[in-house]
Amino acid sequence: MDTVEDKQMNPVELVVPDEVQRIIEKHQGKRGDLIAILEDIQARYRYLPEEALKIIAKNTEHSIVDMYAVATFFERFSLKPQGRHIVSVCLGTACHVRGGPDIASRFERKLEISPGETTPDLQYTLKAVNCLGACAMGPIVVADGHYFSSVRMDAVDEIVAQTRDGLDQVHVGTDQRIFPLEVRCLHCNHSLMDSGFPIDGYPSIKLTTSFKNKHGWVRLSSLYGSYSIVSEYEIPPDTVRNFFCPHCHAEIIGAGSCAECGAPMVPMNVRGGGIVQVCSRRACKGHLLDLASNPVD
């Protein structure tokens, strides 16, 4: 584990034991608790600090060895401090032939780090990844979960600047970061797409939902970065909903919690590999796209 000697250049947040303990208590004893605990620790500190792992080992039945095994198996965990912004450049075959290596070099020069490294001020981590599942639109860059397709050399500075300023404001129809996804149920693997009910000009994602004794359909925009939603019943903001597959009727709920509000996340398998997760709380913009992960079984 890397240590941090220069606190000014490497402002790593100190681990607060009470905070770690609260995360442990939130998940302890539940199915998949170790991954859920580590996900919350990762979301809180942007990596898995050794001190936090020791607290988990002391207060649960999970050993440090268990935790290192999980942390090294899943791409989404890091044992080193990560930047506030994560920029991944695809160097898979299709992106490679479309100029991915030149784009990666441009990011390296701009950020003055190599892939796998983090800037000294902990603002940016640069990653080189293999195939993000959007080969026809390469070269692909994903910054803080937002897609940029057909990236040109002269777009690199702009992507870095936009990432620093925040990528939450998106404009459907003109924003290159908005990206259509095709998703499947993580239980039965049936497609959840509904081409007969387009939202934002693309097939919507059809689910069933329940809240406060109401049970009905809901359709979500399939554009990652759009929060458009149409539902059978009006759903008040802040309502935490349960989601179900309309085909196998199993509840769709993940082990992790939303980094924004703490509500359960709703994971769906992305066609081509990976997982997209959206927050179960109405109007919360917590979402997560991890195309490096294996689909949930």
Question: Helices in the chain by DSSP H: which ranges?
Answer: 17-27, 33-45, 50-59, 64-73, 93-97, 100-111, 156-165
**Residue 140 interacting with ligand FES (CB under 6 A):** yes
Least Å distance between CB 96 and ligand FES?
Answer: 7
Name which position in 12, 16, 70, 94 contacts ligand FES (CB under 6 A). Answer: 94
**Residue 128 interacting with ligand FES (CB under 6 A):** no
**Residue 142 interacting with ligand FES (CB under 6 A):** no
Q: Which of 120, 131, 171, 154 is nearest to 5 (CA)?
A: 120
Least Å distance between CB 92 and ligand FES?
Answer: 3
Least Å distance between CB 129 and ligand FES?
Answer: 8
* Complex with ligand FES: residue 90 or 252, whichever CB lies closer: 90
**Which parts of 190-238 are beta strand (E)?**
193-199, 202-211, 214-220, 223-224, 229-231
**Residue 218 interacting with ligand FES (CB under 6 A):** no
DSSP structure class, residue 281? B
Least Å distance between CB 273 and ligand FES?
Answer: 10
**Residue 274 interacting with ligand FES (CB under 6 A):** no
Name which position in 83, 92, 254, 256 contacts ligand FES (CB under 6 A). Answer: 92
Name which position in 90, 220, 275, 289 contacts ligand FES (CB under 6 A). Answer: 90
Beta bridge partners of 205: 193, 220
Part in contact with ligand FES (CB under 6 A); list of ranges 11-19, 66-74, 109-117, 129-137 = 129-137
16: burial class by Cβ within 10 Å (0-12, 13-18, 19+)? middle
Q: Which of 85, 75, 232, 207 is nearest to 145 (CA)?
A: 85
* Complex with ligand FES: residue 4 or 97, whichever CB lies closer: 97
Cα–Cα dist 126/112, whole Å: 10
For 176, how many CA atoms within 13 A lie in the half-sphere containing its CB? 16
**Residue 79 interacting with ligand FES (CB under 6 A):** no
Q: Which of 228, 286, 293, 295 is nearest to 268 (CA)?
A: 295
**Residue 95 interacting with ligand FES (CB under 6 A):** yes
Name which position in 38, 131, 245, 292 contacts ligand FES (CB under 6 A). Answer: 131
Task: Note the residues at the interface with ligand FES (CB under 6 A).
Answer: 90, 92-95, 131-135, 138, 140
